[in-house]
A and B are shown apart, each in its own frame.
Chain A
Amino acid sequence: MPLAVHAEGLTKLFGSSVAVDHLNLGVEEGEIFGFLGPNGAGKTTTVRILSCLLMPTSGSATVAGYDVLRQPQEVRRNVGLLPEVQGHYERMTAYENLEYYGQLYGVSGAELSKRVNGLLETMGLWERRGEKVGVYSKGMRQKLAVARALIHDPPVLFLDEPTSALDPEAQKRIHDDVIALSKERKRTILLCTHNLAEAEKLCDRVAIINRGRIVAVGGAETLRNELWSRRTFELLLARPDEGVARALEATGLCERLEAKGSSLVFTVSDPERDNPLIVDAVISAGGRIVSLAEVKRSLEDIYLRIIGESG
């Protein structure tokens, strides 16, 4: 699979302060890649380098197959950017804003009208297309900024907090659009977000960046397995039963056992081997099982642990 975004040893200094520190990155074509990290970690600077807005101090990068140092215009042509701050022309209408950017990206004539109209409809802004952006709500501005990033139908999209300020319905629409762009149209999406639930829902892989360095990269499942070798399960009984909890403890299979009402939470080292034995023990002790399910570590757990460990 070709890499749509590739960076090697990417470094950016502002005076003596290191914003991005020898960063290596590879995002595959059609992938939704999450870029997570605390404020000031270097996410925005990295995206700005990859969008040819900033020059790296050292290192190299290619976006959509073009070199950010030698072919900046080609990179810009192939990237759609949703920046942290929307930056619309407030005295112009939504239609005029999109039309202007479409023209700057080289879209013209009937194709431009078609795209502007289509995006205004998709983003739910059609009814208010003739109003000046100055009167738009925060959410409407965000939708317009997403539309602007898509106006030239770029193969690579850099989206910084795409759903911030959006209501749940609009968030879902953006999520669906992002997934469709990636899975159906093979667009590559690099998503910077503090919304870890959103990242977990959308991203194929994530990179966690701290102090300018990538400290972890991979799918949520991979990172979870790397961080936690033991898996935790919750067994729900039909009614609370202390005898069952004692029987479970007596098996010696549970490393950690927590009983709370009719719920038993335990950790095992090898679920394929241990769980059937645990179920047998519960039934033998007269327990009636309603469900047995794994307690998943969320991306938030993963993120907090990695950031905590990386200092």
Chain B
Amino acid sequence: MNRAWIIARKEIKEILRSKYILSSLVIPIVLIGILVPFITTIIPLTTLPGPGSANFPPGIEKLIPGFREMTFQQKLTYFETYFVLAPLLLMVPLMTPIYIAADSFAGERERKTVEPLLATPTSDLELFFGKLLTSFIPSMAVCFVTFASATIILAFAALEAFKRIIFPNLAYVAMMVLTAPLATVFSIGIMVVMSARIANVRDASQIGGIVILPVILLLFGQLFNLFFINEIIVLAATLLLGLVDALVIRVATSRFDRETLLTKL
């Protein structure tokens, strides 16, 4: 597996030299880590009058004990934090690696670097894991920075409204530590398989965008009060993702075909 690390190290060095890829990594941090939490929590808290009113989704009181007793500002901060922003954070581990992973093999093919690479004594498994690590390391870094940044801004909002920090709860900490890495591996695994079989990076990344569909469903589910992300849901999602990841890696490595990689037009 030493060669997998050699590949990942080289590719990450290249990523850091590409303004285009670097910007794709900075966007989630700026957007979801800074702008969205700022606009959805800090701005309303500082501009809306104290005893305001808003139509929160029906049924939310059943999901959140004590919601009815909260002040308007507390309700707003809680809703924006847990029902709008938190699910968005889940999209980061899935979305961030899409371009890098799509580029993994399709990019090598586009730039005609695939032939000398395949001629080296690097095994299929090393190639696959090399590409997987290449996307995993920067994506997780982005994921944690985004989460940390959002947490800090939300802490300011919560201190203003609740006089205490309300985010992250145990479920979201578990989600960041357990579910997010597995979600990233899921996204990358699918993308690497696509990338090895699709001729160019653009097509691979477009088709691969489908991996964020489960999170969009989750987002809507939570917005429409079908459920509220708690420890049990996180645990179930983690277990499910673990199984799916094992399956994706198994399928990806067993179907990895150097010849297709070289001759696919």
| A residues neighboring B (CB under 8 Å) | 14, 48, 51-55, 73-74, 76-77, 79, 81, 83, 85-92, 96, 100-101, 103-106, 145, 148
Q: Is B39 an interface residue (CB 8 A)?
A: no
Q: Is B27 an interface residue (CB 8 A)?
A: no
Q: Is B259 an interface residue (CB 8 A)?
A: yes
Residues of chain B contacted by A89 (CB below 8 angstroms): 10, 14, 111, 113
Q: Mark B1-29, 1 if CB is under 8 A from A, else 0.
A: 00100110010011001100000000000
Separation of A76 and B126 alpha carbons in the complex (Å): 15
9 residue pairs of the A-B complex, CB under 8 angstroms, read A48-B262, A53-B119, A81-B119, A85-B115, A87-B117, A91-B18, A92-B13, A101-B120, A106-B121
Given known pairs A77-B121, A104-B6, the reply for A91 and B116 (CB within 8 Å) is no
Q: Is B46 an interface residue (CB 8 A)?
A: no
Which residue of chain A has its CB nearest to the CB of B259? A54
Contact of B116 among A14, A52, A55, A148 (CB under 8 A): A148
Given known pairs A91-B14, A104-B6, the reply for A79 and B119 (CB within 8 Å) is yes
Residues of chain A contacted by B118 (CB below 8 angstroms): 53
Q: How far is the CB of A140 from chain B (nearest CB, A)?
A: 16
| B residues neighboring A (CB under 8 Å) | 3, 6-7, 10, 13-14, 17-18, 111-123, 258-259, 262-263
Residues of chain B contacted by A81 (CB below 8 angstroms): 115-116, 119
Chain B CB within 10 Å, residue with most, of A55, A87, A105: A87
Given known pairs A55-B259, A92-B13, A100-B6, the reply for A76 and B119 (CB within 8 Å) is yes
Residues of chain A contacted by B17 (CB below 8 angstroms): 91
Separation of A105 and B63 alpha carbons in the complex (Å): 58
Which residue of chain B has its CB nearest to the CB of A14? B263
Separation of A48 and B119 alpha carbons in the complex (Å): 9
Q: How far is the CB of B36 from chain A (nearest CB, A)?
A: 32
Task: Please tell me if the beta carbons of A83 and B116 are within 8 angstroms of each other in the complex.
Answer: yes
Which residue of chain A has its CB nearest to the CB of B14? A91
Separation of A86 and B18 alpha carbons in the complex (Å): 21
Which residue of chain B has its CB nearest to the CB of A148? B116
Residues of chain A contacted by B112 (CB below 8 angstroms): 85-87
Which residue of chain B has its CB nearest to the CB of A160? B115
Separation of A4 and B88 alpha carbons in the complex (Å): 59
Separation of A148 and B113 alpha carbons in the complex (Å): 12
Task: Please tell me if the beta carbons of B14 and A104 are within 8 angstroms of each other in the complex.
Answer: no
Residues of chain B contacted by A48 (CB below 8 angstroms): 262
Residues of chain A contacted by B117 (CB below 8 angstroms): 87, 104
Q: How far is the CB of B125 from chain A (nearest CB, A)?
A: 12
Chain A CB within 10 Å, residue with most, of B7, B18, B118, B121: B121
Which residue of chain A has its CB nearest to the CB of B3? A104
Task: Please tell me if the beta carbons of B114 and A87 are within 8 angstroms of each other in the complex.
Answer: yes
Task: Please tell me if the beta carbons of B6 and A87 are within 8 angstroms of each other in the complex.
Answer: no
Task: Please tell me if the beta carbons of B120 and A76 are within 8 angstroms of each other in the complex.
Answer: yes
Task: Please tell me if the beta carbons of B262 and A90 are within 8 angstroms of each other in the complex.
Answer: no
Residues of chain B contacted by A79 (CB below 8 angstroms): 119
Separation of A7 and B255 alpha carbons in the complex (Å): 28
Task: Please tell me if the beta carbons of B111 and A53 are within 8 angstroms of each other in the complex.
Answer: no
